[in-house]
A and B are shown apart, each in its own frame.
Chain A
Amino acid sequence: MSAASARTARDTSLAAPRSAGGRMHGGLRLDAHKQRSTRRSLRPASLSDTYVLPLDQHVGPPATSRVRPGEYVLMGQVIGETAGAWLHSPVSGIVKAIELRPAAQHLGAPTLSIVIANDGRDQRSEDETGRSFEQYSPRELCEHIARGGIVGLGGGAFPTASKLLGTPVHTRGVMNHETPADVDGVTRLLLNAVECEPYISCDDMLLREHARDVLLGARILMHAIGAEQCTIVLEDDTPQAQQALCSALAETADGRIRIMSVPSRYPAGSERQLIDAIFGVEVPFDGLPTDVGVICQNVGTAAAIARWLRDGEPLIRRIVTVTGDGIMEPANLEVRLGTPIAALIEDCGGYTPRMSRLIMGGSMMGIALPHDALPVIKASQCIIAASTLDLQPRSTEMPCIRCGDCAQVCPARLLPQQLHWHAHAGDLDALERHGLMDCIECGCCDYVCPSQIPLVESFRDSKPALARAQMQSRDAAAARTRFEARNTRLARLEAEHRARLAAKRRRPGEPRPE
């Protein structure tokens, strides 16, 4: 159990002023477990026969398919369209089928996916016009980014174009905000390379080997949103990545970009906490980072944008960390989307006899997959083949002893203890008062609880009920407004009607009006 003191951010760029960062409340100091996966350099995963691409691997409405079974597609060709981010084929080959297939993001439950048979030739679709990014207007650039299928590669898979333009998107059944966000006031770009969750090291490897892509992506993003300044933030325990980034920055000599580092603490990389630590402002709970003039993107997203604008390659591959005590040779692989996870396991030498649980994501927020015949999606940062050495499962759940350790480590400054009591009671008003919707589900409270209570699970279960109740009260307020407006209108029409009648009515003896 670590105390709530957080050191301030340190500036490590070559020529930039030291900044006075804010501090993150709570958080944990966890073992990183990134040594084994970062020993070897990045290498591409071997190609597979079949690639399965779910149509709903991003936040928002699922993409609609633009191809038919039996059609031949080229590598990088558009196969799915949606407002926020398109979907592209990672290989050239024939579309075998468009059918329900088990998907990782639904824990093995089926979802509509496009299945492509790889013909091994990697024939690319023709380059786009090859314009330099400066030739686009900001709005055109954002729309072009949508056409490249770029989504947030930090695990969230939020359509980048929607974020840059501020358009509302359906998130888990509700709109994430009601009206378009005001993005005109955005002056600062924040690139997030703070991989705080244990085991994940894909951004670290990306920076070590493709730092120039990240910087180009930063410049493209700054043009797209009209930002004047860009801050790239790393953790302070990644010296090689810092080194690579600093030397690449020295080459680029773009004075608008600065590099900072934060103490390695979970979950320092959470967007709102990071903005607070770097800029010292809190994003309002009912608002977005754009409200404080910041847009935050993952460095992997920036690199993908750079590849799209510079090379014409849409989002068809990403770096995936394959690690854990249950895998023979942990590594970071450059993986085409749609590759079955089993192929990645084979690439890394297969399972060890100690293999116990397959996790997609990190050890704190990753989801456990039932088997490895599931495809890699845009949000797959990391695959942990966990053995009992990696796992520290919960023991018997005891009643809450109100020790308050959970509140000490909560980065959102909530009282998880009270949320637990009220979730138990189903008291939605109290849950709202204590800020259930502000929970970022990081798992810090779970980690420290002496009673081994699965807190995050109960919060996750209560959130839909609270969201529905909030939506209902919003709808009721809107209905009341319309009802009152209608009554006012009818009363006004009635009054006008009577006035007209009274004007027409003659008294006896009055002359007939003209």
Chain B
Amino acid sequence: MPGWLRNAGAPASRVPNDSSRCMPAAATTPAGGTHSGLAGSRYVDAIGHAAPAMTFDTAAPPHVVAPNRVGRVMRTVLYALVPAVLVHVACFGVGLLLQILLGAVTALSCEALALKLRGKPLAPFLGDGSAILTAVLLALCLPPLAPWWLIVTGTAFAVLLAKHAYGGLGRNLFNPAMAGYAILLVSFPVQLMQWPSPQLASHGIDRAMEQELFQLSLPETLGTIVTGTLPQRLSWDAITSPTPLTALQENLKRGMTMDESHALANADQSGVNAWRWINLAVLAGGVWLLAARIIRWHIPVAMLGAIAVCASIMSAFDPGAYAGPMFHLTSGASLLGAFFIATDPVSAATSNRGRLIYAAGIGVLTYAIRTWGGHPDGVAFAVLLMNLSVPLIDRFTIPRIHGHAR
């Protein structure tokens, strides 16, 4: 190599990781410094001197790295979802757990298949928890008694198409759970409406009777999910009831005012309460994630703020036709979306300012779809639409670098 090329500003830091620079190491002592039994032998260093007695392994700085792992981040998010899952099970039965089980198994199998097809190592990626998180989030969005193929289809689509077809972990453009949910919502709308009544509901009869009439035991739940049909004694009409958002939309379509709709909902007090409890559990988990610094305040605050602002404006304008901010914030997937779905780092914007804009956009779109769109809850589509805008948002929200004017 001509001398001038060697001097052309090449950094001397091209140190290969974990390899001794000087010469092949002989026996390795437990501490890591190697005694080259080659001292005094034919081995010499770069300029002809005898080999030094002891060589050490080299690595590039920094030599201390915080023990953060992707797996730890994902697992913390899963732990934060536990309260929500428990309250959900208390309200709607053990169906959710079976859905999670199905979803997790599907997600891991699809992930393994995709990794094998792409020629990537299985161990680190299967253990990072991102596939299971996708499955759990999707399971929380689906009715607990949904047939088995619903969550299997949704999870398979999410992992194979929305995640791995785009390049795998860290490269997906869309939030995989929301992409899976959207495809299910569009393809199988009927199944997604079949939310059972919350088990806290009291229909004015005693508990044993109630269980006989309206609730399923564990084997019956399993049977329903596997076969897709309810046990003989029950019917879908009897055991399902609309979610608060669905109820509101239907009532408004029928021409009721907001107050009438709320009065009707409050008559069935437990239904509203169940969803409030679940959302409270979600909020608790979300606040814990904030405290653990897994997520930052920008996305939750911006999204909830945008929903609240839109709802306040519209309900101030016409209280009879538009629900107020508290209703919107505590119903549907607002809180789940704000703390767990929109905060998915891969599909969100990059800088803090970008995240504020991204989350505000989700909030506005959610409100718009709920109020004027065809679906009771708009979080999924709002998230997907804002995922599309992330590259554009990123382009215009590069923060000002230290020492630069702009």
Contact = CB atoms under 8 A, between A and B. Distances in A.
Nearest to A33: B64
B403 A285 contact: yes
Contacts of A284: 403-405
Interface in B305-355: 345-346, 348, 350-352, 355
B63 A454 contact: no
Contacts of A358: 56
Given A1-B293, A25-B402, A413-B402, A402 B348 contact: yes
A411 B47 contact: no
B65 interface: yes
Contact of B401 (A390, A392, A412, A457): A412
A369 B75 CA distance: 38
Given A355-B31, A401-B345, A451-B70, A464 B11 contact: yes
Contacts of B398: 415, 418, 433-434
B402 A102 contact: no
A110 to B, nearest CB: 4
B68 interface: yes
A473 to B, nearest CB: 16
A272 B399 CA distance: 18
Nearest to B18: A393
Interface residues of B, number: 67
Contact of B9 (A372, A405, A461, A468): A468
B61 A108 contact: no
Contacts of B47: 100-102, 110
Contacts of B168: 399
A399 B46 contact: no
A311 interface: no
Contact of A402 (B30, B54, B345): B345
Contact of B73 (A372, A401, A433): A401
**Residue among B7, B9, B10, B20 with most chain A CB within 10 A:** B9
Interface string B68-85: 111011000000000000
Interface string B115-135: 000000000110010100000
B11 A402 contact: no
B172 to A, nearest CB: 10
B33 A355 contact: yes
Contacts of B33: 351, 355-356
A323 interface: no
B350 A407 contact: yes
Contacts of B56: 355-358, 368-371
A370 B9 contact: no
B62 A447 contact: yes
Contacts of B375: none
**Residue among A173, A384, A411 with most chain B CB within 10 A:** A173
B402 A282 contact: yes
A206 B12 CA distance: 30
Interface in A356-407: 356-359, 361, 363-373, 384, 386-388, 390-396, 398-405, 407
B402 A276 contact: yes
B153 interface: no
B147 to A, nearest CB: 33
B123 to A, nearest CB: 9
Contact of B345 (A174, A283, A364, A404): A404
A465 B52 CA distance: 35
A393 B170 contact: no
Contacts of A354: 31
Interface string A87-120: 0000000000000111001111110000000000
Interface of A: 1, 3, 25, 30, 100-102, 105-110, 172-174, 198, 272-273, 276, 282-285, 287, 326, 351, 353-359, 361, 363-373, 384, 386-388, 390-396, 398-405, 407-408, 411-415, 417-418, 433-435, 438, 443, 446-452, 454, 456-457, 460-461, 463-464, 467-468
18 contacts: A108-B22, A172-B9, A173-B9, A351-B33, A356-B33, A364-B62, A365-B61, A365-B62, A368-B60, A372-B52, A388-B31, A401-B130, A405-B68, A435-B404, A438-B401, A450-B72, A452-B68, A461-B11
Closest 5 CB pairs of A and B: A173-B9, A443-B62, A285-B403, A399-B170, A356-B32
Given A102-B47, A398-B169, 6 more contacts: A102-B45, A173-B9, A356-B56, A405-B68, A446-B65, A452-B68
Interface of B: 7-15, 17, 20-22, 30-33, 45-47, 49, 52, 54-70, 72-73, 124-125, 128, 130, 168-171, 293, 296, 345-346, 348, 350-352, 355, 394, 398-405
